[in-house]
Amino acid sequence: MFRAFRLPLAFFFAAGLLACGQDGGPVASSASDESGEAAVTGFRAFLDEAYAEDMARYPLTATYRGIKTGNDQWNPVSETFQEDTRAINERRLARLQTFDRDALAADEQLSWDLYKLNLERLLARDAFRHHDFVITQFRGPHTVVPSTLINIHRVNSPADAEDYIGRLNGVGDYFDQVIAQLEIRTEKGLTLADWQYPKIVQSARNVVTGVPYDDSGEDSTLWADFQDKVAGLTLDEATRERLLAEARTALVDVVGPAYERLIVAVEAQAEDAAEADGIWRFPRAKDYYATRLNWYTTTDLSADEVHEIGLAEVARIHGEMRAIMETVGFEDSLQDFFEFMRTDEQFYYPNTDAGRADYLADARRSIDAMRERLPEYFGLLPEAEIVVKRVEAFREQSAGKAFYQAPPKDGSRPGIYYANLYDMANMPSYQLQALAFHEGIPGHHMQRAITVALDDIPEFQKYASFTAYTEGWGLYTEELAKEMGFYEDPYSDFGRLAMELWRACRLVVDTGIHSKRWSREEAIDYLLEHTPNPEGDAVNAIERYIAMPGQATAYMIGKLKLMALREEARRALGEGFDIRAFHDEVLKDGPVPLSILERKIEGLVDAAKAG
């Protein structure tokens, strides 16, 4: 059974949802230096060479993708590096135009379109380079260092351990580049809100607390991690002692002082902190926020249009929630029902280690149950494993509610669904299934584990950043799970709706904060009034949206588009509509902007009719 899309498709044409900044359609070829087979071969070689250059320039990114080139280094953030990056992208865009798009096969034309769009987006973003925050309480270099070394930097050999030490020794230079970027932003008045700075400082201090930084008796996060990893190697005692000694020296002489310098720089910028929360206070704010909305939604929707879509979706979901109230026999108001769901102990795990273990076990069971049903709805299936983990202690107070980390192509580590269990009051049991499906399968793990394993698309295409596609899919799969027969308990189905409502409210509060000049407190109050989520959840969410302008709008915009395209395909094909074919078409080419996703589904429909 397929539910009709709730808003008329004509609305999206009028609002510009079906038109990206670049429409992704056929592009008139410029005068070409190459044609025919030479153009095809040269085009793929060009993409491969550019990708290899990027992996050499971004060694940390390479590590994430299972490539050990520069495995002892961090991604540079210096002004010189960023100027060079812009020049490289300009040259690549000019070079791309020399390849005759019409001489390429259909799949390569798609790659041509995506690469062109990607370069144009990166260049447009660079125009607001210093508007982007270099560090926030939500994420930044202070958490990148430990999270990378602990979760990404695998130590399977002495050479890997040497690289780990190399990265420790590189933290000083990396943080000095970050500090220089902070100074540029201070000079331009592009600072954070005042309440964000203490949270950054606290997270940074957490990393350099414990042995060998003090005599507390408990090992610091990185020292404990390195010792554990070296203990897993087969080494002679002399080599083991040397590695441990070098790592400890790097922690004391380089990492500790680097964190102290960063803390001093953050506290210095805090003296110029803004009292207002949204980026509306920045110079060229309207244009900057428009670029953020375009980047994340891949549409030309304005802030006002996004806000109005959010209000409409909130009203629609509230109506569906009232139907569940009737089912469970709750007779008071919707806000009273929210308070009941927010406070009744039956919906919460104990805020203990045992309660956290039970939550993780139940999340794993939900994912395992979903895995059994996948072949009924998908032809493409992920090969990589997925594990469910708790967010580490050093970052759980500032991290989001949940997130996913993709596996590398080489299969050296699984996909990871991280659940933030710092405060179990923020993780109600009625949302557990929807959250597990979103972050795990058939959500992000399904999507990204399949993408990294694709052999027939260029490497850049697997990692392109089109958030409305990525997060829209995650939200879409929450509803797909209902169609697959999950959420049998009405409270669990309410949890699904609560998760969707959260994303609808994001459209309202993100634009409210950054365009309509709402304060942090006004945005928190909106969530508390319109959702069942607890106060801590609302506070963490709003603080995230302030740190990442525009990002939160991608989920609902992407999901609405997916639902609209599926309904259009179903109507066009009738009984010939195949849900497996639809899902495979969405997933088989990696992330794409919504305009190109529409083009792909139109092609699927045309092919099905012709067949």
d(CA 149, CA 64): 11
Each residue of 494-508: pLDDT tens digit? 999 999 999 999 999
**Please, is 319 exposed, middle or buried when counting C-beta atoms within 10 Å of its C-beta (0-12, 13-18, 19+)?**
exposed
Shared domain check, 428 and 549: yes
What is the average pLDDT across 120-138? 96
pLDDT confidence tier of residue 316, bands split at 50, 70 and 90 = very high
* Residue 404 Ramachandran class (φ > 0 left, ψ -120 to 50 alpha, else beta): beta
Shared domain check, 87 and 200: no
pLDDT above 70 coverage of the chain, percent:
93
Give me the chain's average pLDDT, please: 92
Q: 211 phi and psi, to 5 degrees?
A: -65, 135
13 within a domain of the structure (yes/no)? no
Shared domain check, 93 and 52: yes
Report which of 447, 448, 440, 433 is spatially closest to residue 387, judged by C-alpha positions: 440
Strand partners, 419: 390, 402
Range of the domain at 100: 36-127
Each residue of 553-571: pLDDT tens digit? 999 999 999 999 999 999 9
In this predicted structure, the answer to whether residue 25 has a pLDDT above a threshold of 70 is no
- List, in sequence order, every beta strand (DSSP E) within 360-467: 386-390, 402-405, 415-419
- Considering Cα of 190, then 194, then 195, then 198, what sign does the dihedral take? positive
Q: How far is CA 394 from CA 66, 217, 420, 510, 599, in A?
A: 24, 17, 12, 27, 44
Shared domain check, 459 and 428: yes
Q: How far is CA 9 from CA 13, 69, 164, 566, in A?
A: 7, 47, 52, 12
546: how many CB neighbours lie within 10 A of its CB? 25
Strand partners, 44: none
d(CA 472, CA 562): 7
d(CA 509, CA 516): 9
Shared domain check, 297 and 256: no
Listed residues 216, 243, 276: the one ending a domain: 276
123 within a domain of the structure (yes/no)? yes
d(CA 32, CA 324): 61
d(CA 387, CA 498): 25
Q: Which residue has the higher pLDDT, 552 or 397?
A: 552
Residue 392's Cα: distance from chain center in Å? 18
Give residue 565's identity as a one-letter amino acid code. L
Is residue 465 within a helix (H) or strand (E), and if so which, with residue range?
Answer: none
Shared domain check, 376 and 268: no
pLDDT confidence tier of residue 32, bands split at 50, 70 and 90 = very low
Shared domain check, 302 and 158: no
d(CA 48, CA 459): 7
In this predicted structure, the answer to whether residue 544 has a pLDDT above a threshold of 80 is yes
112 within a domain of the structure (yes/no)? yes
Shared domain check, 145 and 99: no
Shared domain check, 297 and 244: no
Helix spans in 418-519 (H): 432-439, 444-453, 459-462, 467-483, 490-514
pLDDT confidence tier of residue 509, bands split at 50, 70 and 90 = very high
Q: What is the pLDDT of residue 36?
A: 58
What is the average pLDDT across 15-21? 36
Residues whose CB falls within 8 Å of the CB of residue 86, separated by 6 or more in sequence, listed in order: 123, 126
d(CA 611, CA 608): 5
Q: Count the domains in the chain.
A: 3
431 within a domain of the structure (yes/no)? yes
Q: What is the pLDDT of residue 378?
A: 97
Shared domain check, 468 and 333: yes
Residues whose CB falls within 8 Å of the CB of residue 200, separated by 6 or more in sequence, listed in order: 135, 136, 137, 140, 142, 266
30 within a domain of the structure (yes/no)? no
pLDDT confidence tier of residue 185, bands split at 50, 70 and 90 = very high
DSSP 280-323: GGSTTHHHHHHHHHHHHHSS---HHHHHHHHHHHHHHHHHHHHH
Is 516:307 a contact under the CB 8 Å cutoff?
A: yes
Edge-to-edge strand list for the sheet holding 402-405: 386-390, 415-419, 402-405
CA angle 348, 486, 388 (to 5 degrees): 55
Give residue 607's identity as a one-letter amino acid code. A
Listed residues 105, 127, 149: the one ending a domain: 127
- Considering Cα of 117, then 119, then 123, then 128, what sign does the dihedral take? positive
Is 512:304 a contact under the CB 8 Å cutoff?
A: no
Each residue of 318-332: pLDDT tens digit? 999 999 999 999 999
Q: 199 phi and psi, to 5 degrees?
A: -70, -40
575 within a domain of the structure (yes/no)? no
Percent helix, percent strand, percent coil in the chain, to nearest 5: 65, 5, 30
Listed residues 127, 159, 190: the one ending a domain: 127
136 within a domain of the structure (yes/no)? no
Shared domain check, 447 and 415: yes
Contacts 24+ apart (CB under 8 A), 207-211: 207/142, 207/143, 207/145, 207/146, 207/259, 207/394, 208/255, 208/256, 208/259, 208/260
513 within a domain of the structure (yes/no)? yes
What is the average pLDDT across 88-109? 95
Indicate the range of 69-83, 230-244, 535-549, 569-583 predicted with least confidence.
535-549
pLDDT confidence tier of residue 551, bands split at 50, 70 and 90 = very high
Only one residue has tokens 């207002």, namely 276
Shared domain check, 178 and 247: yes
